[in-house]
Amino acid sequence: PTRSHIYVRQIPKPVIAAVNGATAGIGFIQAVACDLRFAAKGAKMTVAFPRRGLPAENGVSWLLTRLVGHGNAADLLLSGRVVTGEEAVGLGLVNRAYDADELLPATLEYAKDMAANCSPRSLAVIKGQLNADWTRSVEETRTESLSLVREMIGKDDFNEGVKSYLEKRTPRYKGLSHDPDSAEPLRPF
């Protein structure tokens, strides 16, 4: 079976795109579906659809509107113009832009820092919140967050996070368990 181009949004771990060179069409959609996007300053990004006689495919109009706002989404989708990695930062399309030779080392360093210092469970829950909260009211978001706090306080990752902070050391979190008999199953969103 084939997966949707936005499948990465369902993965419980953060997914980071590092765009170096050109990305268009489906490749563009795959990049913007990622949780974080870093690009080379000279990278070229375009939807290309209107210049090929196609509609905005695979949910990209939904993604872009939420990612960069209606005006910037309209600019990109209606013109099909190419934007550089440097311009993409200003639009909110990418999080950071680097010189091409710095892109991969900087992206890997960011990912390594996240892996070393952040709770895998917390990352999965926050990713779920980011995805679900796009369609919720602020009150629904607040209520759900309080429920999640009550669930997570006192759990292993919370205890380790506090303990490592007090001891001024790197935390030693457990990985996510996908075992249905696990004491702390991952809550789906």
pLDDT tens digits, 3-39? 776 788 888 999 999 999 999 988 999 999 999 999 9
For residue 32, what are the CA distances in angstroms to 42, 77, 124, 127, 143? 17, 13, 19, 15, 28
Note the pTM of the prediction, 2 decimals.
0.84
- pLDDT tens profile 120-168: 999 999 999 998 888 888 999 999 999 999 999 988 999 999 999 999 9
Assigned CATH for 118-189 = 1.10.12.10
- Looking at the chain, the domain(s) classified CATH 1.10.12.10 span 118-189
pLDDT 10s digits, 62-119: 999 999 999 999 999 999 999 999 999 999 999 999 999 999 999 999 999 999 999 9
Residues of the chain with CATH 3.90.226.10: 7-113
Neighbours of 19 (CB within 10 A): 26
Residue range 37-64, pLDDT digits in tens: 999 999 999 999 999 999 999 889 999 9
List the one residue out of 17, 38, 16, 67 whose CA is nearest residue 59.
Answer: 67
Length, in residues, of the chain: 189
Selected from 3.90.226.10, 2.60.210.10, 2.30.110.10, 3.40.50.2300, the CATH number assigned to the domain covering 7-113 reads 3.90.226.10
